[in-house]
Amino acid sequence: MALLPSAAAAQFYDLDGAYRCLTTPSAGCEKDLKDQPRPAAPKPAGPTMEQVIAKVRDRTVGPHEVEFLEKHADADDPRAVEVLAWCKLNGIGMPADALAAFWLYRKAATLGVANAQQNQIAIYETRLTPEQREQVLLRENSH
């Protein structure tokens, strides 16, 4: 003889039964819900900021981490902006670009990142070419 599910359990699995359990819950519905296995929490779709920063420290940044940083920097995540500036300045995961790093540190400073303005000044004074400094001044004076 086959075991049949209880009436409440059978109801829960048809669309109408599920609706009744949601609108007029009963002890049978509650028991059935408690007896159901819980699905595993979904894994994050991509890396975490901590994982990306670890790869920056190890200088093993790949395209996925760069994309992650760019996406978060575009969304004004202060840590992402600062880390992306560091990567651009030092050529980690991308070609070095001191001018792009300069502007990213400017953005980081406006987002409240400690020492970002000092980093921007240091880049201007020590890493930009005279032509790049002129570009910065022209851009600054045009605003």
Instruction: Work out the percent of the chain whose per-residue pLDDT is above 70.
Output: 73
Backbone angles phi, psi at 116, to 5 degrees: -65, -40
Token code pair at residue 95: 């070609």
The confidence band for 21, taking pLDDT boundaries of 50, 70 and 90, is low
User: Confidence class of residue 16 from pLDDT cuts 50, 70 and 90?
Assistant: low
Place of tokens 């022209």: 138
What's at 38, amino acid-wise? R
Contact predicate 106/118, CB 8 Å: no
Residue 40's pLDDT is: 75
Give the three-class secondary structure for 45: coil
Judge contact between 88 and 50, C-beta under 8 A.
no
Q: What is the pLDDT of residue 11?
A: 45
Query: Mind giving me the DSSP string for 57-103?
Result: HHT---HHHHHHHHHHHHTT-HHHHHHHHHHHHHTSSS---HHHHHH
Is 55 in contact with 66 (CB distance < 8 Å)?
no
Assessment of whether the complete model's pTM goes beyond 0.85: no
Assign 45 a pLDDT band (cuts: 50, 70, 90): confident
**Both tokens of residue 3?**
């075991």
Domain segments of the chain: what residues? 1-36, 49-142
